[in-house]
A and B are shown apart, each in its own frame.
Chain A
């Protein structure tokens, strides 16, 4: 079991940057796959070759028959399955860490620039640069207010792709297992291969116990597949809403002096909730400008700000609105990203806070910790 700590450490970091369904998936992976594999399944398969008996005295016959019956042992197959299914999450983690790192760099550059500009005296150029940088940050999925990773933009894309690849791997391994071994192991395996002189009866060791584990691991794989699909469905909704909010931003509400008002408007928009999907569909124009008027926005802004601050101070069971990753730590530590890591469904939180929201807030499930 100790060997899985290599992977466990990486996946705990992914845990911090995942949605709720993603956390459930990771928990299932840790407990029902890694733990079970490391403790129970390995000891069940421990004597698989030594107790594989063939009804023959011909030397070498047992070896070749075992090799034919089990080209790759179930346990090794499951190890590869876990590794390949976890790999896309690590790619996403890499991207998340990269986002955090870029943000730190940007902050440092901004601070330097600010110091320089203060020396020189002018600060319009700095403001412009700030606004451009903030636009970039927003697109990459960074929230200015809380210093947190928000799952949107390119980060959301990476997350979605990682889940797609994970789902494909899961399906491939389930199908592969079925093709190699079918579902159940038979007690008796009839083998005809040189140097066995004739078809020989070979008996598999502990077939019933192995079948129990095979069915268990298959069920867990199907459950993981189902969770991945559920997460894709959930993210599909999120993307649709993101597109709605973007298409709303593109609609005419701009004032002259765009460059200066744009960052403020965008900052306001970052704090205001995205419209309900229903709103996007039902009122094609005009009506959904109202939640986004500047007055509403600034009120919402204050409310959100206060709530975020309160939430960030809450402890372990705390419910931040965003998937959190603090960037205030030093660069070396930031890659570990030790922040209170209890993400909540971004959209749910916004709906709860929004005055304009017509829908009732969903009950929040408890976060799972591994």
Chain B
């Protein structure tokens, strides 16, 4: 499975985005998707094999690894990328729906099917809110999973069948932490971009509405 599918989808979304939306797509591609595919995947590739406990008891390493990593960071990262990009598809679907309607009725129903106004604006705003919400949810999940964005070198484990409290060593903790911070930073950047786009659109259209009403009153 390749990420080119997501890339093509997002390129389609780019057409109907505002300027800030295009910056968001560029950030997602460059700083999240590319870093994930080119760098991060390799770091977590052999995390289970390289996880070592100071014990010969069979099964102890397995249960300890499972306890400390219920979901691997890298899988959560991939899920985050997919789910955070998906709300943008709502906009693409809405535009396709508009174009379909125009075809069915064989007449020009909309001034411009791709312009964000009316219903499409609502869809766009909803997609922004969903994206922001999902980003925050995933940040909270990462926080809970890594106990405050920390990846220690040594963890102590005393789960059955480990006979006593056992020292377990996580592989590449420094590198994993660097990329975890990178993930958090890019997530926060995307949240900021989404919120600024949201406020920009709301401000722009409320000014438009206000001016229209003002003109009507004058007339």
Contacts and interface: CB of A to CB of B under 8 A. Distances in A.
Interface of A: 2-7, 10, 38, 42, 49-50, 58-60, 62-64, 66-67, 70-73, 75-76, 79-80, 83, 86-87, 90, 94, 98, 194-195, 332, 335
Contact of B35 (A70, A79, A335): A79
A79 B30 contact: no
18 contacts: A6-B34, A59-B55, A60-B167, A62-B52, A63-B170, A67-B153, A67-B174, A70-B175, A71-B174, A71-B178, A72-B174, A72-B178, A73-B43, A75-B42, A90-B26, A98-B19, A195-B54, A332-B114
B37 interface: yes
B23 to A, nearest CB: 7
A63 B39 contact: no
Given A58-B54, A71-B175, A90-B30, 17 more contacts: A6-B29, A49-B50, A59-B53, A59-B54, A59-B167, A59-B169, A63-B52, A63-B153, A63-B169, A63-B171, A64-B153, A66-B171, A67-B171, A70-B175, A72-B178, A79-B39, A195-B154
B172 A79 contact: no
A257 B87 CA distance: 57
A10 B11 CA distance: 11
Interface in B127-168: 153-154, 167-168
Interface residues of B, number: 42
Given A63-B50, A75-B42, A332-B15, A94 B174 contact: no
Contacts of A70: 175
B92 to A, nearest CB: 13
Which secondary structure dominates where chain B touches chain A?
Answer: helix
Contacts of B35: 79-80, 83
Contacts, number: 105
Contact of A6 (B15, B33, B46): B33
B2 interface: yes
Nearest to B15: A332
B38 A3 contact: yes
A67 B172 contact: yes
A6 to B, nearest CB: 5
A54 B126 CA distance: 55
Q: Report which residue of B23, B31, B167, B175 has the largest number of chain A beta carbons within 10 angstroms of its beta carbon.
A: B175
A6 B172 CA distance: 27
Contacts of A62: 52
Interface in B39-94: 39, 42-43, 46, 49-50, 52-55
Contact of A79 (B38, B169, B170): B38
A73 B44 CA distance: 13
A282 B76 CA distance: 67
A89 B2 CA distance: 26
A76 B33 contact: no
Given A6-B7, A60-B52, A98-B19, A49 B39 contact: no
Interface in B151-210: 153-154, 167-175, 178-179
Nearest to A61: B169
Contacts of B34: 3-4, 6-7, 83
B98 interface: no
Given A60-B169, A94-B23, A195-B167, A76 B39 contact: yes
B116 interface: no
Interface string B1-33: 011100100000011000100110010011101
Contacts of A6: 3, 7, 29-30, 33-34, 37
B175 A49 contact: no
B169 A64 contact: yes
Given A2-B2, A60-B52, A73 B22 contact: no
Contacts of A332: 15, 114
A4 to B, nearest CB: 7
Nearest to A97: B22
A6 B5 CA distance: 11
B204 to A, nearest CB: 16
A205 B22 CA distance: 43
B14 to A, nearest CB: 7
B38 A73 contact: no
Closest 7 CB pairs between A and B? A60-B169, A3-B37, A63-B169, A71-B174, A79-B39, A59-B54, A76-B39
A61 to B, nearest CB: 8
B153 A72 contact: no
Contacts of B174: 67, 71-72
A50 B178 CA distance: 21
A148 B114 CA distance: 26
